[in-house]
Each structure stands twice: as C-alpha cells, then as structure tokens.
C-alpha cells in the first residue's frame, strides 16, 4: 500500500504535467490562430490588388509600413519606401494604367508574425502582357502589414510577351 506522502507527490507531479501539457496545447492553438489570421490578412491584401483601389489596398498596412520592392528597368536599386503614403503613391504610379492584372498565390506559409508567399501573375499594360513570379516576406504587427519585401523568383521575366 502506497503511503499518503508518496501518493501526494505522485499526484502533484501528474497534475503539474497535465497542466503544462494543457498550457502548451493552448499556446500552440493561439499560435495557429495567429498564423491563420496573419495569412488571411496577406491573402486579403493580394485580393484587393485587381481592384486598383488604393484605399482598399493600403487598408491592410500600418502607417509606418516599410516596403522593399523590385527594381524595374529605370531603377538601379530596389526601392525602399517608408510609410503608407509613400507606398500608396509608388504603387498607384505602377498600377494606374494596367489594363488587366491576375494574381495567383502559389504558396503561403506562416511562422508566427512572418508570412512568406510565392505568387505568379500576369500584368497587361499598353497591350503587352508581363509574367511575374515573385516571393514576398511580410511581417504583421497588431493585425496590419508592418513590412513587405518582394523578390523576383527564377523563371521570372518582367519582359513583355
């Protein structure tokens, strides 16, 4: 027969173990929920692009967003923009004359507040269609995009076809 002290110690250890497992499960569930929310923010951000509605597009961004884009033929370095208004003005200058835009998110992955995406798409401008294959990193802070960085991926061409 187990004495009361031994029984109480075992009970306390088992209880502590069960509480720690429960706490871990709760933390894991919260992280998964956060990651799902962050992926939805980025997905909704991309879905807003074809609208060309800059208020709708920038609604997903913090006022202090930092955007690092892809250098175009007239640029010697990748543009780095600070703030929502700078992104608004730059992005509008690129999309205002688009005839058509199609975006497909090929992959999306969340690691806490960081979201990684791979997207492909087509842009039609002045009758020419451009294929793009882009990787992006996002950092989400308080439910808004805090940083957005883009990279051209292999088999990408910003040349007209």
Output the tens digit of pLDDT for each of the chain's 161 residues. 556 566 676 666 676 666 666 665 577 788 899 999 999 999 999 999 998 999 999 999 999 999 998 866 555 667 889 999 999 999 998 888 889 989 999 999 999 999 999 999 988 988 999 888 999 999 999 999 999 999 888 765 555 55
Does an H or E element contain 35, and which? helix 4-48
pLDDT value for 118:
95
Q: Which CATH number fits domain 4-152: 3.30.1150.10, 3.10.450.50, 3.90.1150.10, 1.20.1740.10?
A: 3.10.450.50
- State the pLDDT at residue 4: 59
Q: Which pairs with CB-CB distance under 8 Å and at least 24 residues apart come from 110-115?
A: 110/35, 110/36, 110/38, 110/39, 111/35, 112/31, 112/34, 112/35, 112/38, 113/34, 113/38, 113/139, 113/140, 113/141, 114/138, 114/139, 114/140, 115/38, 115/39, 115/41, 115/42, 115/139, 115/140
In contact, 117 and 105? CB cutoff 8 Å: yes
Rounded Cα–Cα distance for residues 134 and 120 (Å): 6
Tokens of 75: 């640029």
CA distances from 37 to 60, 82, 142, 144, 160 (A): 12, 24, 11, 10, 36
pLDDT of residue 35: 95
Cα–Cα distances in angstroms (integers) from residue 52 to residues 25, 100, 109, 152, in the given order: 42, 10, 25, 22
CA 74 to the chain's CA centroid: 27
- pLDDT of res. 12: 67
């Amino acid at each position: 027969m187990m004495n009361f002290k031994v029984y109480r110690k075992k009970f306390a250890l088992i209880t502590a173990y069960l509480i720690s497992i429960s706490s871990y499960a709760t933390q894991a569930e919260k992280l998964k929920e956060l990651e799902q929310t962050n992926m939805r923010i980025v997905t909704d951000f991309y879905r807003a692009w074809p609208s060309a509605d800059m208020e709708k597009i920038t609604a997903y961004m913090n006022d202090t967003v930092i955007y690092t884009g892809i250098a175009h033929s007239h640029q010697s370095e990748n543009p780095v923009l600070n703030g929502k208004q700078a992104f608004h003005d730059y992005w509008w200058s690129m999309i205002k004359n688009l005839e058509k835009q199609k975006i497909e998110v090929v992959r999306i992955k969340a690691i806490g507040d960081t979201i990684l995406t791979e997207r492909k798409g087509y842009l039609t401008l002045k009758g020419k269609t451009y294929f793009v294959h882009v990787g992006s990193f996002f950092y989400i802070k308080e439910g808004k995009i805090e940083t957005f960085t883009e990279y051209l991926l292999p088999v990408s061409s910003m040349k007209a076809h």
